[in-house]
Structure 1
Amino acid sequence: MKTFFERLMAETEAERMRLYSVPQIMDAMQGDISLDSYLAYLEQAYHHVKHTVPLMMAAGSRLPQSKEYLREALVEYVEEEVGHQEWILNDIKHAGGNAEQVRRGEPNEATEMMIAYAYDYVSRVNPVGFFGMVLVLEGTSIQLATNVANTLQASLGLGENCFSYLSSHGSLDQEHMKFFEKLVNQIDDAEDQQAIIHVAKRIFILFAQVFQSIPHKGALKHVV
């Protein structure tokens, strides 16, 4: 019999593959993006990462006492994730971008919609669904972050201090995913399980749209 984590991975595979097939991600894996595209990615990363801790706190505040173990898990996540948006701003600065302009700026439409959806689901439907977003962001990080950081560092000729966010999250989130798998396998409520699957599917699609909103030099290659 499948564990819930195995079921979650199986039932979200199509949406996950849709994300990984986005041209911007495929080009980044090959080091075929410009510095402007990398900075544009970091800008959108900043605008969604700065909401990670507030979203976790919002979800935790809405959990009933019967799910205290999930609230405790969110507290651990908060301790790990707090301040990571500042890492991104440092990467932007070291790569030659305007970090303060990014801090004061607005996200792309796709990024705003992804964050708005997460807040809405947590507050309006089921806070446990937030763990679907955790799967997407940390799972994607494990698959892509370290490889992309190494590839782009070589292709763009930038220093390690321009990739602190990507480089740290590839390895860091491997440990997070082990924690996540053990945690979600404790969730036996069918409605909660379905909420996590539902949110994961939606966030995979919305996250793909975030990447699709980033201009990149390989765009013309993918025009059919």
Structure 2
Amino acid sequence: MTDLAMTAAPTSSSPLDNGKPGGFYRALIEATHADRQALMQGALIQRGQRGDISLAEYRAFLAQAYHHVRHTVSLMMACGAELSGPSFVYRDALRQAIAEYVDEEKGHEHWILDDLEATGVSRDHARTRPPLFETELMVAYGYDSVRRRHPLAMFGMVLVLEGTSTSVASQAGRALQARLELPESAFHYLFSHGELDISHMAFFAELMDSIEDPDEQAHILHAAKAFYRLYGAVHDAALADAPNWHDDVLESRNDLVF
């Protein structure tokens, strides 16, 4: 690992701008710019890209990632079920998009358990320790948005979670690997998401540009703004929870694997 990777300035660039001029995707990126910047300026992302994260903080981040990522497929399936209603009878492209997302996202929570185990945390502890309130709230908001507000609110979540990964996941993973001296097997989630979400965002941009109804666009925008705030709160809560992931605390509970 080069010194450059350890000292590279944190980035706050926008998600890949693959949308067409005048299309909804670019309008969505512009309308959520301030919300995105607020998330990107958060302590976890800023410090993570510099590699300035402790082992306990990395474990705490992964623990909360596990608790929201394990709901991703279920949230998308809930969205797909809503898209089967009579209002969407002609929207085959949307249903197909959800099916593709489900296929891509299956099993990603197991990557996170692999990463935690590689840092020395037992999989059982990661599974059974309840999510923090902020994580539970973000997940609950996702289900509520899809079922009560509008099924396409799901795409506001996709913009936030995958759009963030394209900019920061791989860089943060490299910096943290060098700082913490952990094996590559501890970074499945960050490395894989950083690479996969670049292609996902190109697909997402094309899909967003196919949505022309102003009401549907408004629901996606509303959800995106909400998820930027909720995801930032999850990051802050994870950092605050880090003391519970120190070796001595885990050892007292027999939750270390080595």
TM-score w.r.t. structure 2 length?
Answer: 0.82
Q: Which residues of 2 match residues 1-224 of structure 1 at below 5 A?
A: 2-63=22-83, 64-215=88-239
Q: CA deviation at 1:216?
A: 6.3
* 1:20-56 per-position Cα deviation (integer Å, ceiling 9, x unaligned): 0111211111111100000000000000000000000
Give structure 1 stretches of 5+ with no counterpart.
218-224
User: Counterpart amino acid of 1:122?
Assistant: V
- Give, in whole Å, the separation in 1 of the partners of 2:185 and 2:230: 29
1: distance between equivalents of 2:235 and 2:116? 17
Preserved contact between residue 34 and residue 216 of structure 1 (Cα < 8 Å) = no
User: Which structure would you say has the larger Rg?
Assistant: 2
Q: CA deviation at 1:114?
A: 0.5
Query: So what's the TM-score if we normalise by structure 1?
Result: 0.95
Q: Which residue of 2 aligns with 1:220?
A: none
Describe the SS at the equivalent of 1:5: helix
Q: AA paired with 1:43?
A: A
1:24–1:216: 8 Å Cα contact kept in structure 2? no
Percent sequence identity is 45
Give, in whole Å, the separation in 1 of the partners of 2:203 and 2:209.
10
Question: Contact 1:87/1:165 (CA < 8 Å) preserved in 2?
Answer: yes
Q: Which letter maps to 1:124?
A: R
Off by >2 Å, runs of 4+ in structure 1? none
User: Partners in 1 of 2:236 and 2:164 — Cα distance?
Assistant: 15
Q: What is the CA–CA distance in structure 2 between the aligned matches of 1:164 and 1:185, rounded to whole Å?
A: 31
Matches of 2:209 and 2:44, distance apart in 1: 33
Tell me how far apart the structure 2 counterparts of residues 41 and 189 of structure 1 sit (CA, whole Å).
Answer: 37
Per the TM alignment, residue 65 of structure 1 is displaced from its structure 2 partner at its CA by: 1.6
Give the root-mean-square deviation of aligned CA atoms.
Answer: 1.4
Q: 1:34 to 1:216 in 2, by over 3 A?
A: farther
